[in-house]
Structure 1
């Protein structure tokens, strides 16, 4: 997720923000009042409201008081690196066991899950030769040692993926499989945060990129925080090229194009910058316009999971 301040997921939508605030209530999403996602559960059902943070805040160690993130149901401490925890993740370790238990209890009472985000732009695990199984074991052990609800895999090894030799896809699959052996589904959150182009049918990613990952281990992944930003100055900046037809440098990577390629629509989280500058290099859509995009996507069936009815 690069060097972020704060960002959040709204329903199935991810936005960066420079400050913490409630999820964009101007979107008037009805399921905010009817969803069970804020009930006490390790893996929240959609709609998911997720806030990430890796920014140092003077006078604050670890996550903010849960009252400051009212309306969210997942908070991601960024980042857990190959070298160990950094930023907000390492701050979590600076708290005493009793302090962590208190924070965790407060978050759980408010229906908020605490996870750690791994890698980010700092790490290139495939290119650096990290062992996927060993890395998964180490990171899963860290999650359990420090009492968190799961992990978000923010894999950004672009050189490995661009090589199109299948090594990146195989690494991610092995890493994910091993994480799940240590962090069972339904008990721990396991999300991924790929860039949107990695879900496109594109000759540049002839080994399949995240379409291959989804085909191989998608059943082990709870949802995808898709990064619809930093992929060009005009990409994903209108409702149409965000939702329907990406065009530009990354055709086939709009939300519904990704779903048409075989990825479960209910697992796709739209990632957008929350500010026009500072949170990402590109991809910003003004909040009022983005609200309209969300309404369009919702009308087409995105973002609100409805469990199957029994017969």
Structure 2
């Protein structure tokens, strides 16, 4: 072989290597990554829980989510087309207490959640009169509440609907767009669960506005009680595929309602996800229920998130 042939071979090999690298799946897909986000709903059950009751690990990003702001009249008897009122325990979770917990802990942010399951012992319905009027009212009323309480983000947790998926998508999508563009919020999340009607609404929203949604607080505790570790992992991978590209958070409930409980292997599942670089964070429903057991699982969740792999 002549010396002239060697550079050509090197060039061919280099080109072949580059082509293989550029077309390999790992190079064109964003690698999943673990995150240290811990989020907890608070204030829905009026049992005098305070922000300061909840242990806060300084090595996580901690989000409290006030539950709930609802577009119903203050008595909770009729919908108000986007004019939101505060329905959380505002005596114990007041604007001054928001400011206090944020000043004491630089890693804490506070959000509010919209909707929820019920209001005044009946279901809380998403019921806009029209897209434009609902968005206008929602932007105005929520901006006022968010600024009064010094909040950082919103969570969408409607679970009952008197509007089709496209209307829901446009209303919520335009609301998030406007609040972000106006600098009123810095993040937004959604809280779907595995129910056909619920998923049809949230997946429509995800399809059109998923790029504006920072976290998916998927309610894995809405699955059957007695969920196993392997079932949980399968559910997690299914929903990560449904909300493709989203930060789907692992979740459990401390009210004993369902899903994979900490006692039955939730943290085993989280360690497995973490080893696969798929643990985007953990959220808990809810601080109100955890108070009576001393927030032991909040401590365990945050310790897991704060530990390097």
- TM-score scaled by length of structure 1: 0.61
Instruction: Determine helix, strand or coil for the equivalent of 1:232.
Output: coil
The offset of 1:149, in angstroms, is 0.9
Q: 2:172 aligns with which of 175, 191, 199?
A: 175
Q: 1:283 aligns with which of 259, 265, 276?
A: 259
Residue 297, structure 1, aligned to residue 273, structure 2: yes
The offset of 1:232, in angstroms, is 3.5
The offset of 1:47, in angstroms, is 2.0
Deviations 1:206-255 (A, max 9, x none): 99332222111111111011001234345xx11222122xxxxxxxxx11
Q: 1:242 aligns with which of 232, 242, 249?
A: 232
CA distance in 2: counterparts of 1:150 and 1:206, whole angstroms: 22
Q: Contact (CA 8 Å) 2:173, 2:205: kept in 1 or not?
A: no
**1:66-215 correspondence runs (5 A):** 68-71=55-58, 73-82=62-71, 83=73, 84-89=85-90, 91-93=92-94, 100-107=98-105, 109=106, 111-122=107-118, 124-127=124-127, 129=129, 132-133=134-135, 134-157=137-160, 159-160=161-162, 167-184=164-181, 188-195=186-193, 197-198=194-195, 204-205=196-197, 208-215=200-207
Instruction: Report the CA distance shift for 1:90/1:176 in structure 2 as closer, same or farther (over 3 A).
Output: farther
Residue 255, structure 1, aligned to residue 236, structure 2: yes
Q: 1:218 aligns with which of 200, 210, 220?
A: 210
Say how many residue pairs are matched: 225
CA distance in 1: counterparts of 2:184 and 2:127, whole angstroms: 31
Q: Contact (CA 8 Å) 1:190, 1:223: kept in 2 or not?
A: yes
Q: 2:51 aligns with which of 63, 66, 70?
A: 63
CA distance in 1: counterparts of 2:224 and 2:128, whole angstroms: 27
Q: Contact (CA 8 Å) 2:112, 2:155: kept in 1 or not?
A: yes
The offset of 1:112, in angstroms, is 0.6
The offset of 1:294, in angstroms, is 1.2
Instruction: Report the CA distance shift for 1:89/1:132 in structure 2 as closer, same or farther (over 3 A).
Output: farther
Instruction: Determine helix, strand or coil for the equivalent of 2:266.
Output: helix
Larger Rg: 2
Instruction: Report the CA distance shift for 1:121/1:261 in structure 2 as closer, same or farther (over 3 A).
Output: closer
The offset of 1:290, in angstroms, is 1.6
Instruction: Determine helix, strand or coil for the equivalent of 1:219.
Output: helix
Q: 1:273 aligns with which of 230, 243, 253?
A: 253
Instruction: Determine helix, strand or coil for the equivalent of 2:126.
Output: coil
The offset of 1:293, in angstroms, is 1.0
Quote the RMSD (CA, aligned, Å).
Answer: 3.2
CA distance in 2: counterparts of 1:92 and 1:207, whole angstroms: 31
- TM-score scaled by length of structure 2: 0.62
Q: Contact (CA 8 Å) 1:137, 1:178: kept in 2 or not?
A: no
Instruction: Report the CA distance shift for 1:114/1:262 in structure 2 as closer, same or farther (over 3 A).
Output: closer
Instruction: Report the CA distance shift for 1:52/1:207 in structure 2 as closer, same or farther (over 3 A).
Output: closer
> As a proportion of its length, which structure holds more helix?
2
Runs of 4+ in 1 over 6 A off after TM superposition: none
Query: Unaligned regions of 5+ residues in structure 1, if any?
Result: 1-44, 161-165, 199-203, 245-253, 306-311
Instruction: Report the CA distance shift for 1:120/1:90 in structure 2 as closer, same or farther (over 3 A).
Output: farther
Query: Unaligned regions of 5+ residues in structure 2, if any?
Result: 1-33, 74-84, 282-309
